[in-house]
Amino acid sequence: MSMIRQIVNIAWKELIQIRRDTFLILFLVLAPTMQLVLISRNTSRGLSDIPTAVLDLDQTAMSREFVRELDTTREITVRYYPPSHDDLHHLLDSGDAQVGIVVPRGFSREFNSPVDAPARVQALVDGTNVLIGSMIEPVIVGVMGLFVQRHVQMPPGVDIGGVEVDASALFNPTFNIQWFVIPSTVAFIVYQVALVLAATGFVREKEIGTLEQLLITPIRRLELIIGKALAPIGLSILNFMLLLAVQTWGYDIPMRGSPALLILVAALAIIAIVGVGTLISLFTQNQQQAVLLVFLLAILEVTLSGYMLPVENMPLVMRGLAQISTLQHFMTATRAIILRGATLSMILPHVLALAGIALGAGLIAWRAFSRQIA
């Protein structure tokens, strides 16, 4: 009982110190929620109103109708009608237009002629933005498909044959990008909060000169480490639950799995993150160094986690490093529970990896602390 009392006292001291830091309180409550809201608002918009230049060399009623069809889509806004290829390329080079479409001469004749070559249009896309480059082509193809269906009437009873594909999307039938981005963002925000709180624990004591006072009190090293870790763990779990409520009720993202399993996985991930943060706190001399290391580690974790690029598409070395990425396992497990309704057996490799990272970081932190005060 005395050990539990000592740990609780240390944790309570940490909470009092955090409560006195107004900036840190704002960081814990307002910053994560604002970050989630801003990211979700941006992702919900998708591609829209992309400035487009159209060079219509055909100048027929059919070519003008096709241009109007493009302009009515949500993704494309035709703003420029350059008179020549040079003017079109100038608009693309300057960045005024991000998409250029060329309707060649003879478009209307070739469209209506069964003997001429198929009617074609040329699309020039600004490749510096990969998202635009990958998503604009299907929009143009879709507009052309509807245009053809409206103008090409097949005689009754004629079957042109071919293959019909009936596809269904599981777990996210409307391909809502928010369902993918927001759970990943929640995991990343909780990762940042837990890491910052843990990384400033011991180093704050060094800066204000109270670490020596703690060491001369009748508190064992293990009690001190656990007590200082409890406050970041508890606050990070509360932060996760707050963001989870915003995600579920604010953006109607379904919760298909067990909330209890989700919180259990989050708690295990947070323990692992706090273990890593404690290591940072022990090996740095001031809070500036600690925050800098947190920043560098967060960049590395985002790269390895699959947040920006699927892990399967990474080089072999990076795929290996991803297996010891806390954020990668945390993000993958939470998405599986929320969107697919995964059970513990389905995400067991990720849970075991998080448990291993938590145990390894805790043991290394205990040994490092023991050597520092020896």
Q: Please report whether residue 157 resides in a domain.
A: no
Domain boundary among 116, 150, 184: 150
Write the pLDDT tens digit of every residue in 288-332: 888 888 888 888 888 888 877 778 778 888 888 888 899 999 999
CA atoms within 13 A on the CB side of 188: 22
Q: Are strands 50-56 and 76-80 parallel, antiparallel or unpaired?
A: parallel
Least confident of 125-129, 163-167, 328-332: 163-167
pTM: 0.73
Residue 318 placed within a domain: yes
Residues 33-57: tens digit of each pLDDT: 666 666 666 555 556 788 899 999 9
- Which CATH number characterizes residue 115's domain? 3.40.1710.10
CB-CB neighbours of 108 under 10 Å: 19
Q: Are residues 25 and 89 in the same domain?
A: no
Question: Which one of 150, 168, 189 terminates a domain?
Answer: 150
* Residue 276, domain member (yes or no): yes
Q: Are residues 355 and 303 in the same domain?
A: yes
Query: Does residue 162 form part of some domain?
Result: no
Is residue 136 situated within a structural domain?
yes
Same domain, 182 and 327: yes
User: Residue 374 has which token pair?
Assistant: 């020896």
- Residue 69 near residue 56 (C-beta atoms within 8 A): no
**How much of the chain exceeds pLDDT 70, in percent?**
77
| Residue type (1 letter), 11 | A
Residue 24 lies in a domain: yes
Number of domains in the chain: 2
State the greatest distance between any 2 C-alpha atoms of the chain, in Å, as a whole number.
Answer: 95
Query: Which residue range forms the structural domain that includes residue 94?
Result: 47-150
Task: Please tell me whether residues 116 and 61 are part of one structural domain.
Answer: yes
Same domain, 221 and 86: no
Nearest CA-CA partner of 185 in 306, 355, 293: 306
Residues 213 and 326 both lie in one domain: yes
